[in-house]
Structure 1
Amino acid sequence: MDTNLELHAADATGWRAGMYDDIRATFRAPVVNWIWRTATANHPDLTRYLWGQVKPAFGTRAFAEASVAYRDAVLSAVDCPRYRPGALDLAPAEVRELRGQIATFDAVAPRLAVLFELVDRATNGGDVGSGVPDDRAATEPYPAGLDADRGLDPSMVAVDAVPEGAADAVAGIRAFHGFDDDSLPSVYRCLAQWPGFLSRLWTALEPELRSDDFDAAVADAGSVVDEYVGGLAYRPALSREAVVAAGFDGDAFDDIAGLFAQFNGGPVETVIPALPVFAESVGASGPRRP
């Protein structure tokens, strides 16, 4: 798997472009995340099969309830700073962009958390759908209006072009999450467009993220994901045997399974639960109640 290889949405054509549109519509966000771009660039046909297998997991009311519960689990545990638009020291247009772009990360947070856990379990023999509740929400359609049309397509600085005003904050971010100097999660590359705000936010937020409260938030949000994946009404056929029987190469399967397993652990474990916190700080987080 060449993780430097990506198929960006602007370069996608044919069914790849259609799949990207479907991912954006299903994820309720105007972005195709890095993991899809990289998987598609490396193993396009297998990624199309993968998307077809996991898409139903994001189309039920049960998922809608889990996505709201995920956000609430984080924000109930963490005392995050809150900034009024007029207190951000930014022009009104910049405030709109900041709030809209960070709202996109808030929308995708529970979706990425479920995606990584679901694919990791399904490709490695884990528990998926073993305890489906006898609840209408398990198979009822996702509510059309929830998390719809509230985000903007994020723009980002390059990893090696972080503005000087955000350099200290980025060093602290890398140290906290455990990323090396060549890596920086997309949300921070987005926030670095406003270096003064990122520096101010990180100074206020770092002690909270290093606290037992955030550890509890990570655990509680993880429990929401565990319960949802364990009770999933539609089991994806993503075992090695099923994928090979469907005509795909075993080495390609190993690449994809390894990629998702990597993102279901390590530094990303603390990045995704932090996304609702960043959105909440500027009043751009989504619903927290069913």
Structure 2
Amino acid sequence: MSLDTSAQVYDHEAAGWQRGLYDDVKRTFRAPFVNWIFRTAMANEPAFLRYTWGQVAPVFDTRAFAQFSVDYRDAVLTELEVPVHEGRDLGLRPPEYRELQGQLATFDIVGPRLAVLFRTLARTLDGERVGGAAGGVDSTAPYPAALDRDRGREPTMVGPGETPPGTEETLAAVREAHDLGDGLPSIYRCLAQWPAALDAGWAAVTADEEALAAARGEADRLVEDFVGRLAYTPRTTPADLRSAGLGGAVEDMAALFGGFDAGGTDLLPLLSGYAAAVGAEGRRRL
């Protein structure tokens, strides 16, 4: 892959149509920040991202997606049965605990959205046509305006190579479990700001290996099922991209989104578990 994964267009740098697209991503994802994958795609293949976002954005604006998102969260938390840790259990003052809750709520919100984004593009960039199902009213009805709105706070994080005191053992276990080498996904760089919360969250989601495997398996089944019955058909196959004059982006973008889809199957279900561990889980029913 020839992408420069260190290159990013940050939210505060975006202008013109890039500004508008980032604002739409935040509206659609119900989150106060723009995920790394959008920032990196914007820096490397901006025309691809502009075209592709226009194709996939409608997927997230339906009541069917809203139902999927709460089902995804409920399936994960039903399997994990995560205990709630209060602020005093973690040695945090109320303002610190509220900040932690708000930041983890954001990850809880974006988890199912990223799962569907990764799976949709992994499948279509591999040449598969998805969507076009004749579903019921929810398949095209609008997303409920209040669901997951204004829950989260913009995440802050430790530096990419930082290991704050008190996090060494848990971050080593995280890297080994996720086969990450020296890298860390954003959720762990966020949690590392509060070592006690990192320890408690990691212990909670990994306490029962069978439950964790079941949570991952059920979440993956829900993602696969949802993408397989989309009412809308994103035109993001290699043939579609070539027709749009974007054929040169296919190989790199297929590797990028395919890799994140594979890794997300293990990681993304845990985001709801971390939020639940501090009492910040979202709704589990519409």
What do the CA deviations read for 1:104-139 (whole angstroms, capped 9, x no partner)?
000000000000000111111235126x25310000
- Match of residue 264, structure 1, among 255, 261, 265: 261
- Across the aligned residues of Structure 1 and Structure 2, the Cα RMSD in angstroms comes to 1.3
Percent of aligned positions with the same letter in both sequences?
A: 47
TM-superposed CA distance for 1:11, in Å, is 1.1
Q: Secondary structure at the match of 1:140?
A: coil
Offset of 1:86 from its aligned partner? 3.4
How far the C-alpha of 1:171 sits from its partner, in A, is: 0.3
Cα distance between partner residues in 2 of 1:121 and 1:240: 11
CA 207–45 in structure 1, closer or farther in 2 if over 3 Å, else same = same
Number of the residue aligned with 1:230? 228
1:221 paired to 2:223:
no
Match of 1:277 among 266, 269, 273: 273
Deviation string, structure 1 residues 51-72 (Cα, Å, up to 9, x no partner): 0000000000000000110001
Whether the 8 Å CA contact 1:71–1:288 is kept in 2: the answer is yes
Aligned length: 284
Q: Which moved more, 1:93-102 or 1:253-262?
A: 253-262
Identify the residue that residue 92 of structure 1 maps to in structure 2. 94
| Aligned 8 A contact 1:127 1:230 in 2 | no
Amino acid at match of 1:155: T
> What is the match of residue 240 of structure 1?
238
Q: Structure 1 residues 66 and 204, CA, compared in 2 at 3 Å: closer, same or farther? A: closer
What do residues 134-155 of structure 1 show as CA deviations (whole Å, max 9, x unaligned)?
Answer: 3100000000000100000000
- Asked if 2 retains the 8 angstrom alpha-carbon contact of 1:74 and 1:221, the reply is yes
TM-score, normalised on structure 2? 0.96
Letter in 2 for 1:252: A
Which digits, 9 at most, give the CA deviation of each residue in 1:57-110, with x for residues without a partner?
000000000011000110011121211233321111111110000000000000
CA change 1:200–1:220 in 2 (3 A) is: closer
Contact 1:102 1:278 in 2 (8 A): yes
**Matched residue SS, 1:164:** coil
Does the 8 Å CA contact 2:119/2:223 hold for their aligned counterparts? yes
Are the aligned partners of 2:129 and 2:237 in contact in 1 as well (CA < 8 Å)?
A: no
Q: Per the alignment, do residues 134 and 284 of structure 1 end up closer, same or farther by CA in structure 2, a change over 3 Å counting? A: same
Give the AA of the match of 2:255.
G
What code does the residue aligned with 2:278 have? V
Aligned position for 2:79:
77
- C-alpha distance in structure 2 between counterparts of 1:16 and 1:154, whole Å: 21
- 2:80–2:205 CA contact under 8 A, matched in 1: no
1:81 and 1:205 in contact (8 A); partners too: no
Unaligned runs of 5+ in 2: none
| Amino acid in the other structure paired with 2:197 | F
Which moves more between the two structures, 28-37 or 75-84? Answer: 75-84
Aligned residues of 2:30 and 2:110 also touching (Cα < 8 A)? yes
CA 1:194–1:231: 2 relative to 1, 3 Å: same
Moved more, 253-262 or 83-92: 83-92
How far did 1:255 drift? 1.2
CA displacement, residues 226-279 of structure 1 (integer Å, 9 cap, x when unaligned): 11111101101111111111122x22122112110110103x321100000000
In the alignment, what sits opposite 2:7?
A: 5
Alignment-mate amino acid for residue 88 of structure 2: G
Q: Are the counterparts in 1 of residues 205 and 212 from structure 2 also a CA contact under 8 Å? A: no
**After superposition, where does 1:19-168 map in structure 2 within 5 Å?**
19-126=21-128, 128-129=130-131, 132-168=133-169
TM-score under structure 1 normalisation? 0.94
* Residues 220, 265 of structure 2: 8 Å contact kept: no
Q: Report what 1:171 is aligned to.
A: 172
Could you tell me which runs of 5 or more consecutive residues in structure 1 were left unpaired when the two chains were aligned. none
8 Å Cα contact 2:201-2:273 kept in structure 1: no
Matched, 1:254 2:251: yes
